[in-house]
Amino acid sequence: MKTTFPDYDHCITAIPNSILKHFGAEEGRKTSALLDSCLKKEYENIVVLLLDGMGKRIIDRNLDREGFFQRHLKGVYSSVFPPTTVAATASMLSGRNPCEHGWLGRDCYFPQIDRNVTVFSNKETDTGLPAADYPVASRYCGYEDIVQRINRICGKETAYYAAPFAAPYPKTFEDVTGRIAGLYSRPGRKFIYAYWNEPDWTMHRKGCHSEASKALLRELEAKVEKMCGGLDNTLLLITADHGLMDSECVTIEDYPKLLECLVRLPSIEPRALNFFVKPGKKEQFLSEFQKEFGEKFLLLSKEEVIQRQLFGPDKEHPSFRNMLGDYLAVAVSDLTIYRTKEEVDTIIAVHAGLTEAEMEIPLIIVEK
């Protein structure tokens, strides 16, 4: 299985940075030459539609090569590390890489409160209880997103969301496309950031190439094509945060000699495990991990993670290094290590490792 590291010269963060540059943000950040060229045409409407989990391999293996998405495929980009929703959507929204914004994965260790937090739910990862009476990730790793930033630059409402996390809180994909259509009809230049949680949700539970996943992808493709029929003077960019692959899953609870070495259960992701090791237990940890998972995971010390610039080559968030444990184990195979048996029993497809299937994302461009 091919190990694929993120290409930070040609990755998802270039997409928002090209758009921000187009709206007047001049920071000298890496942009997409392809998008920069498209944006010279001064479209009235610029829309980014991010379909969660729809990696390049997903569309190659599930959709017709003569279909709408493949006909409009213009490029292949890298996700960030880890290729997972929290890290990659934060990069899409901020134009920054994970070492800069600090949203490293589903479960992050926050040194300010000395605990692991599931960032989207704001709950303690280990107990499921509220982590705090404030949003922990936003307080300690907050950022101005692309919609907020464009509106600040333009001095008026120019940018909008069409996503379940923002009013009017669409509940179906039809609600998302309807929101895009409604915003499109408003006069003036505008940017719309749209997001939907599929095909990720279905693939996790049914597998990457199941009939359910294939049917869902065909349905999403048809609905996007139908929406495009009503657009004009619009640049629509369709992409993903990461891809997925089917996996064999185990739980760390089944490896007591490894578990006894840890200060706390691992954070970040089941395919990018952040380990804090007890004093005096590092030799045992290294020996046990190598014995059980040596060919399946790339085990890096904290120093190696920083030296490799795995989370990005940019200026680090002040909390970044303290969020990292002593070691990071990254999947380079189809094996995934979950924290609990409940997760193992419900998940088929996964992401956040260093494989091509997880890392490569499409850039589909529709010019109307």
Q: Tell me the pLDDT tens digit for each residue of 228-283.
A: 999 999 999 999 999 999 999 999 999 999 999 999 999 999 999 999 999 999 99
Q: How far is CA 89 from CA 52, 101, 107, 146, 308, in A?
A: 9, 11, 15, 11, 22
pTM of the complete model: 0.96
- pLDDT beyond 90 at 28: no
Question: Across-strand partners of 102?
Answer: none
Q: What is the pLDDT of residues 286-332, one digit of tens each?
A: 999 999 999 999 999 999 999 999 999 989 999 999 999 999 999 99
Q: What is the pLDDT of residues 132-189, one digit of tens each?
A: 999 999 999 999 999 999 999 999 899 999 999 999 999 999 999 999 999 998 999 9
Whole-angstrom distance, CA of residue 45 vs CA of residue 328? 42
